[in-house]
Structure 1
Amino acid sequence: MRPNFLMFIVDQLCADHLGCYGNATVRTPHIDGLANRGWLATNAYVTTPICMPNRASLMTGRMPSAHGVRHNGLPLGMDAVTFPELLRAEGYATSLIGKSHLQTMTDHLPLPHPLRPRQARDGARRYPGDYSQECVANWRAENYRMSLPYYGFEQAEIAIEHGDDINGHYRQWLRGVCPEGEALLGRQHALPSGYELAKAGQAWRTRIPEAFHPSAWIADRTSERLREYAQQELPFFVYASFPDPHHPYTPPGKYWDMYKPDDMPLPASYHSANPPPHLAWLRNEREQGRAHKTSMACFAATEREVREAIALNYGAMSFIDMNIGRVLRTLEDCGLAENTVVIFTSDHGEYAGDHQLLFKGSLHYRSLVRTPLVWAAPAGRQRQETAMVSTIDLAPTILETAGVAPCNGMQGRSFAASVAGRAYDGHEAVLIEEEGQRTYFGFQAPVRMKSLIDARYRLSLYEGVDWGELYDRRDDPLECRNRWNDAAFASIRQAMIEKLLRVSMAHADTALSPLAVA
């Protein structure tokens, strides 16, 4: 019998914010329970620490430089082959519930590069299809409908944006079950709060009840889909995607003050000294009163802001965990648990005060680029894998477990052997690519960078500057001492640069041209 798959993914969570990864404060018993009976990766890394490109990498098993979603605002081509599409072609029922973010949420064009003026024509042709299906403007219409299948999902119910002010199918549902619900959503309707983050619009105490919050809706709809699938004989893949705990933080009800900011310790790296140039720039912006705290971008935060962010992040995660527990009970009640692989991960990490930063940006600290990854198979056993795995490894692993062949151009490596307790080497090093949308950090243009992480070192190279980053992760696990200009590390720097080049070459695209496909 072919296995079913139930995959939970959250938005912007560092691995250290879960009990199963050693956090003694946050309460996530259901996710921890999956880890206690399953496989947990201690060194799972993103292909890029940005929502859209890393989600596209998860779906395709390909690096951003291969699938083309280099940064937010560039939709995944409708010609892309996703692993849900391959599962569906082999008889799997496929369903997406929650955040997708494979297309853009706005109808704005990407910002022009300040040093490369935009031309009238682009160097690539747009593959036919509707690329506005996640655009909020469309969903303001009362009865907007998506075109299905959607990137391999034959059913899709989506949630767009963050916090409690979510659009998409969630908003359509809310209008039907709670007509007054829209008057409770958003910062403008929030309950009073003395939080510093609330002043910048990065958190608000939502009026929406727990039962009508987007995280609860995702659990409700996922449970309903499982009940539907229990009545049929097809195997299934269900992708339950929570927009939280991404900022703005809006945990509902008791989860808002479940954790007290004053009780939250600062990360060990908060008082790190001798920062690299772009971190120094962010800290200087704060000291000069110019820190830009109202956007999605990272900024250097005060101690109070960090403590608030951690407390609210924990509250959001405890609420998500409770809702995951509800879905897992449905899985049991429907008699599906004995043949369903349950996966938990996040699309990328979050600084959460690491080196004084909040949110995410172009500094590849461990808190940002390492994600949780739990795989709980029905007959599995508890096991921790210390070898390095990457986001692009999930697609081939799911396909191998399902008995479905991968496609040309998939760059990930299956870790199914490790899950089964067999010999597994993992990656010698993981490659991380990033291209920014906006110019900040003191750079003259949007950041373009690559990082290579191996068993001991992390190297980061940036386009257009003569400096970089090199950290000895064994002797300096918090990455506080940049060895780029250290004469004692000169040979290591050169060796890592060469390794970065070789790993990049190994990730060159091998997909065939459409004209070459029979």
Structure 2
Amino acid sequence: MQPNFLIFITDQHRADHLGCYGNPIVRTPHIDRLAEQGQRFERTYVANPVCMPNRGSIMTSRMPSVHGARSNGVPLPLESVTFADVLSEAGYRTALIGKSHLQNMEDNPPLLPPRHIPEGVVESGFKEARRDTLPPGAYEQELRSRWADSRHRIHTPYYGFQEVVLCNHHADECFGDWLRWLEGARPELAARLGREHGERDPRYVAPQAWKTRLDEDSYPTHFIATQTVQWLSEHARSQPSRPFALMCSFPDPHHPWTPPGRYWDMYKPEDIPVPATMIGGHPGEQHVEWLRRERAAGHANTQGPRLFAASEREVREMIALTYGMITNIDDRIGLVMQALRAAGLDENTVVVFTSDHGDLMGDHGIVLKGPLHYQGLVRVPFIWRDPASHGAGGSRDDLASSMDLGASILSRAGIAPPNGVQGKALYTPDGVPAPACRDAVLIEENQQRAYLGFDEPVRVRTVVTDRYRMSVFAEGAWGELYDLQADPLEMRNLWGDADAAPVKHQLMFRLVQLLTEHADTSPKPTRVA
């Protein structure tokens, strides 16, 4: 009998912001219970620490440079074959409830500088190296402006999902099916959303933090959970023998920080310790110093999505509000799990919990995300609770990638992956843990912005091994090399250390190998020549 799959995914949620990953403050009993009943992966890394590219890797089990959504702003090609496509073909019922972000959400123009065409040179009508095979509207299904039209819906199947209930963006600025529901059920609240209507708490100075007008039951997190509960109940009534794969995707705990109701005050900033790496300077961190100088000069944009330097007070407040968001999610996961049991589906459902990437959240004095691949940003939670394990829990220390989620789901369903899948199966069709299969993990990042002292949009490639993390930037003569055993907080950059030169050489060679190994193999050759 093929198992069902219930996949919980959160947004910008670092691994150590869960009780089961050793956090002594944040309360996450329901997620912790999943870890107790299943397996907790201690070293799962993103393929890319940004939303769209890593969500594309979760869905396709391929690196961003291969599946095509190499950065935010570049939609995942609709020609992509996802694990949901494969399960759907095999008879599964597939659904996505919550945040998708496989296509662009906002209508803002890209940040890249305009292309320079020399005088006397004729510009071709071909703007890109690839032809568009679908109308532009096919890649605009998640845009906020499209959802302003009450007739707009996601065209399904959507990347393999036969059903989609969309709640895109973050905090109380979300839109999609959630906003449609709110406008009908609570129009007075729908008219007072976002930072324009939010109330500033005089006790807080953190940017992007306001008390939402929404109550707990109208907040996106609750809507996504209740829609998931209804879906499970309906499935148990109408199609109990049909296997399903349901992704329950929460837009939190992402900035802006707007936990509703009791979750706003649930954690006190004064009780939150700041990261040890906030204090003092650290050799070789010129990118961090650049951000600190930017903030000191008053040039940092603290209202946007790009990383910036923050004060200790700001970091304490951001973490406290983030913990409120996380506990809100945990409570709603408890509701979903209760519904799964009530529907009689629990005994044949693999439950997975992960996130799309982490958040620096004060590490080295920096918040949010960007091309600084410290552990808090690139290491994500990954929990696999399988009824076939008969309650056997524990943790795994072997290296894993976000790409491995889809590959593991297909393996557990007893379905061979398509050619070109680069993820590794972490479980067999019987639910038995597969042996460790990675000695290193590759992380990519391609930014639209030029910053951190670079003249061109930042591009970086990172290799993580059992012991080391090395990041190589396309521009500039400096990089990063950390010994994660001797220096787990990544305080001492060994890039320019003469004694570390042999290790640096070995990691460079392994990085080249990984880049070669992750070159595309799809499509297969059709003839010898």
Q: Is the 8 A contact 2:12 2:356 kept in 1?
A: yes
Residue identity in the other structure for 1:103: Q
Aligned residue for 1:384?
Answer: 395
Equivalence for 1:401: 412
Matches within 5 A, 1:259-338: 259-271=267-279, 272-338=281-347
Aligned-residue offset at 1:195: 5.1
Stretches of structure 2 lacking an aligned partner (at least 5 in a row): 118-122
Q: Aligned equivalents of 1:418 and 1:455: distance in 2? A: 27
User: 3-state DSSP class of the match of 1:499?
Assistant: helix
Indicate conservation of the 8 Å contact 2:419/2:524, yes or no. no
Distance 1:137 1:197 in 2: 32
Matched ranges for 1:149-228 at <5 A: 149-194=157-202, 196-197=204-205, 200=207, 202-228=208-234
Q: Is the 8 A contact 1:54 1:347 kept in 2?
A: yes
Q: CA deviation at 1:386?
A: 0.2
Q: CA deviation at 1:119?
A: 7.0
Equivalences for residues 495-506 of structure 1 within 5 A: 495-506=506-517
Tell me the SS of whatever aligns to 1:123: coil
The amino acid of 1:203's aligned partner reads: A
The structural deviation recorded for 1:273 is 2.0
* Local SS of the residue matching 1:409: coil
Could you tell me how far 1:291 is from its partner in structure 2?
2.4
Shift, 1:287, TM fit: 2.4
Partner residue in 1 for 2:13? 13
CA contact (8 A) 2:351 2:384 kept: yes
Post-superposition Cα deviations, 1:18-42, rounded to whole Å, max 9, x if no partner, equal 0000001000000000001101100
Residue 132 of structure 1 is aligned with which of 111, 118, 140? Answer: 140
What residue in structure 1 maps to residue 358 of structure 2?
A: 349
**Greater mean alpha carbon deviation, residues 185-194 or residues 60-69:** 185-194
- The separation in 2 between residues aligned to 1:498 and 1:222, in whole angstroms, is 46
Report the 3-state secondary structure (helix = DSSP H, G, I; strand = E; otherwise coil) of the residue aligned with 2:514: helix
Larger deviation, residues 318-327 vs 373-382: 373-382
Q: Whole-Å Cα distance in 1 between the matches of residues 200 and 441 of structure 2?
A: 45
Q: CA deviation at 1:91?
A: 0.1
- Displacement of 1:417: 4.7
Does the 8 Å contact 2:426/2:433 carry over to 1? no
Q: Across the two proteins, how many residue pairs are aligned to each other?
A: 514
> Residue 494 of structure 1 aligns with which residue?
505
- 1:285 Cα offset (Å): 1.4
Q: What is the DSSP-based 3-state SS (H/G/I as helix, E as strand, rest coil) of the residue aligned with 2:87?
A: helix
Could you give the per-residue CA deviations for residues 458-515 of structure 1, whole angstroms, max 9, x where no partner exists?
1110012111111111101111111111110111111111110011101111110798
CA contact (8 A) 1:343 1:375 kept: yes
* Residues 224/69 of structure 1: CA separation in 2 closer, same or farther (3 Å cut): same
CA distance in 1, matches of 2:261, 2:427: 40
Give the letter aligned to residue 362 of structure 1. Answer: P
Q: How does 1:434-449 map to 2 (within 5 A)?
A: 434-449=445-460
Q: Distance in 1 between matches of 2:513 and 2:211?
A: 49
Partner SS for 1:314: helix
**1:160 Cα offset (Å):** 1.4
> Secondary structure of the equivalent of 2:328?
helix
Partner residue, 1:508: 519
Tell whether 2:423 aligns with 1:415: no
Match of 1:78 in 2: 78
Report the secondary structure of 2:23's partner residue.
coil
Residue type matched to 2:244 in 1? F
* Kept after mapping to 2: 8 A contact 1:274/1:481: yes
Q: Distance in 2 between matches of 1:74 and 1:352?
A: 26
Identify which of 235, 245, 250 aligns with 1:242. 250
Aligned to 1:457: 468
Matched AA of 2:448: Q
Change (3 A) 1:119 1:204: farther
Q: What's the CA shift for 1:274?
A: 2.3
Counterpart amino acid of 2:93? A
d(CA) in 2 for partners of 1:170 and 1:210? Answer: 14
* Aligned partners of 1:417 and 1:424 also within 8 Å: no
SS at match of 1:180: helix
Contact 2:388/2:430, CA 8 A, preserved across alignment: no
Deviation at 1:457, TM superposition (A): 0.8
One-letter amino acid of the counterpart of residue 322, structure 1: D
* Mapped partners of 2:443, 2:410: distance in 1: 23
> Using the alignment, how far apart are the partners of 1:100 and 1:418 within structure 2?
28
Q: Is the 8 A contact 2:411 2:429 kept in 1?
A: no
3-state SS, counterpart of residue 143 of structure 1: coil
CA distance in 2, matches of 1:195, 1:406: 52
Unaligned runs of at least 5 residues, structure 1: none
For the structure 1 residues 354 and 119, does the alpha-carbon distance in structure 2 shift closer, same or farther, using more than 3 Å as the test?
farther
How far, CA to CA, are the matches of 1:427 and 1:255 in structure 2? 39
What is the rounded CA distance, in whole Å, between the counterparts of 2:103 and 2:14 in structure 1? Answer: 24
- The residue type paired with residue 219 of structure 1 is A
Whether the 8 Å contact between 2:11 and 2:357 is mirrored in structure 1 is yes
**Correspondence 1:370 to 2:379:** yes
Letter in 2 for 1:368: L
Letter matched to residue 450 of structure 1: R
Counterparts in 2 of 1:476 and 1:273: CA distance versus 1, 3 Å: same
Mapped to 2, the partners of 1:298 and 1:140 lie a distance apart of: 30
Partner in structure 1 of residue 48 of structure 2: 48
1:17-32 to structure 2, matched below 5 A, reads: 17-32=17-32
- What is the CA–CA distance in structure 2 between the aligned matches of 1:279 and 1:402, rounded to whole Å? 45
Partner of 1:480: 491
1:325 Cα offset (Å): 0.4
Moved more, 123-132 or 257-266: 123-132
Residue type at the aligned position of 1:48 = N
Equivalent AA in structure 2 for residue 40 of structure 1: R
2: CA distance, partners of 1:402 / 1:98: 24
Taking only the aligned residue pairs, the percentage that are identical comes to 47
Amino acid of the structure 1 residue aligned with 2:42: T
Deviation at 1:145, TM superposition (A): 1.6
